[in-house]
Amino acid sequence: MENRYEELKTRCLGCQKCGLASTRHNVVFGVGVPNAEVVFIGEGPGENEDLQGEPFVGRGGALLDKYLAAVDLDRNKNIYITNMVKCRPPQNRDPRPEEVASCIGYLTEQMELIRPKIIVCLGRIAATALIEKGFKVTKQHGQWFEKNGVWMMGTFHPAALLRNPNNKPDAFEDMLSLQRKIREICDHTYDGTELG
């Protein structure tokens, strides 16, 4: 698995499948533990992520880490974080459908290797692509969907929470629901001695 993961990552880092390759500084493949039972999927790298090569490292990322810590989750210990597209769309525009289509194979292969039990979609772009086409975050956040044996939930994107802090209590409720789901179906996410 480690080798196949590294091989996939190497392939992705050299990707030239869409126009985003010409403006990126770094491919942002993903971060976390290879045996994660819980995976978070955002939209695409922003400026800081593009410069550092890691997902969610800006202000939104700091907020995400805070929410994760509240339910004993940590990108370096027990989860995995990636995005729908691995390269930054210029000016942080939404990724175009053809860019998502070019990139989705990498995400599919990542999920085949990691085999998570739970996927959390951060924001509309991931939730509409992975849960259902008409997914409305404001109405359907926190609801659970089972797809091919994987439990999926959509919640607010951290950047949206920074723009609209009124949704923070709802986002926190979603994290508590995630914590309950992890306790119910995961084997080792909360195993670490310092966690859980």
Report if residue 95 touches ligand URA, rule: CB under 6 A.
no
Query: Shortest gap between Cβ of 125 and ligand URA (angstroms)?
Result: 7
Unique residue bearing structure tokens 């309950």: 180
Number of neighbouring beta carbons within 10 Å of residue 51: 16
Q: Does 56 bind ligand URA (CB under 6 A)?
A: yes
Helix or strand or coil: residue 105? helix
**Smallest distance, Å, CB 187 to ligand URA?**
27
Spell out the residues 6+ positions from residue 92 whose beta carbon is closer than 8 angstroms to its own: 46, 47
42 binds ligand URA (CB under 6 A): yes
Minimum Å gap between C-beta 195 and ligand URA is 23
Q: How many CB atoms lie within 10 A of CB 102?
A: 21
The stretch near ligand URA (CB under 6 A) out of 17-25, 42-50, 102-110, 163-171 is 42-50
Contact 85, 20 (CB under 8 A): yes
The residues that touch ligand URA, with contacts defined as CB under 6 A, are: 42-46, 49, 55-56, 60, 83, 159
